[in-house]
Structure 1
């Protein structure tokens, strides 16, 4: 009788160990699977040139002190235009109200966020006035710069490489995403070529 109790006790303990081991394997496996999925998703976004999942679409509307207002923009402040750009979901095809128009040089940049994580490739857009000690514009592709912009988490203070440069007029705009939701205000930046007239 006593032997049976000991035997059942050992079987119970052994069963608990087996269950705990199985649970432990499941817990270890799932995070790896999830991480793999997230990494694949992130890399897809990076391959497309931009990962704006952490982008703050609205801004305070503050602009760099040395940014010059455009004298004769195609789209005047207060007018409407259609956004022809898919920087993020709900942007392409949205009707925008022009809040500001500025003459500058815009860059696409690749940088590693100060918060860590994978590099963000070909981010659109950073303007010359948002570079720390940017010097004379335009900068050549491959130039290393420090970003002084907070469009995305981990962007301000990050070291970046210039991918491309274009002298143009950039616009700050308000728009309601085509996917619904709240109005985006003072969005930075949309270039002149990314806008079309309202028909």
Structure 2
């Protein structure tokens, strides 16, 4: 059964890895901080496996199995979607900028990578402006890339399941959204 789930999860990841919005995020005006994230290469669903050392949240606002409304647009069809919480974890979450290890355009203000997804992470959180190497692989070229920390905050992060408001396949174990990116369902 475990092997079948692994095969199914891999098939879903490959099937979904090409979906998403294909907007060009090269910023013509380099002074603008309103640049969007390109998630066309994002692995929207995941196996649900959590990074080593990640601790479950002790008292999360949204417990596993509860429903919430997503107030974030990390990917097309996410904002306004009803989500089921599949996990809640206490950690430091980072917005980062990086050039994919596989080449291509620089990704700016990517939300989110957590402390446990940084290669050889130190005990204390990183600060804005520091450089790290990623072991997260949410997007093509992310794993092994050098990244600059744009912002950091200690918070609860959530793994969620949701069906995009734009239709399509259900996204399972999406990593990550923060508490501020969720609201009670129906509100």
TM-score, length of structure 2 as denominator length: 0.82
Structure 2 partner of 1:43: 26
Among candidates 101, 104, 117, match of residue 88 of structure 2 = 101
Query: Gaps (5+ residues) in structure 2?
Result: 1-22
Confirm whether residue 52 of structure 1 aligns to residue 39 of structure 2: yes
Cα separation, 1, equivalents of 2:185 and 2:105? 38
Find the counterpart in structure 1 of residue 12 from structure 2: none
Aligned to 1:167: 154
Distance 2:137 2:184 in 1: 29
Separation (CA, whole Å) in 2 of partners of 1:140 and 1:72: 26
Tell me if structure 1 keeps the 8 A contact 2:24–2:38: no
Matches of 2:121 and 2:86, distance apart in 1: 25
Assess if the C-alpha contact under 8 Å between 1:109 and 1:124 holds in 2: yes
- What is the match of residue 10 of structure 2? none
Q: Deviations over 1:52-107 (max 9, x none)?
A: 11111101111112000001100010000000001110000000000000000000
State whether residues 105 and 137 of structure 1, in contact with CA within 8 Å, keep that contact through their aligned partners in structure 2: no
Residue number in structure 2 paired with 1:70: 57
1:130 aligns with 2:117: yes
Asked if the contact 1:131/1:147 (under 8 Å) is kept, the reply is yes
- Per-residue CA deviation, residues 137-177 of structure 1 (Å, 9 max, x unaligned), is 32111111000111000000111010000100000000000
Aligned residues: 160
The Cα offsets for residues 16-71 of structure 1, whole Å up to 9 and x where unpaired, read as: xxxxxxxxxxxxxxxxxxxxxxxx93315995231111111101111112000001
Question: Runs in 1 of length 4+ with deviation above 3 angstroms?
Answer: 44-47
Separation of aligned partners in 2, 1:80 and 1:189:
15
- Residue in structure 2 matched with residue 115 of structure 1 by the alignment: 102
1:80 equivalent in structure 2:
67
Q: Distance in 1 between matches of 2:128 and 2:51?
A: 23
Q: Gaps (5+ residues) in structure 1? A: 1-39
Structure 1 vs Structure 2 CA RMSD:
1.6
Q: TM-score, normalised by structure 1?
A: 0.77
CA shift, 1:115, in A, is 1.1
Distance between the aligned counterparts of 1:178 and 1:44, measured in 2? 27
Greater helix percent: which structure? 1
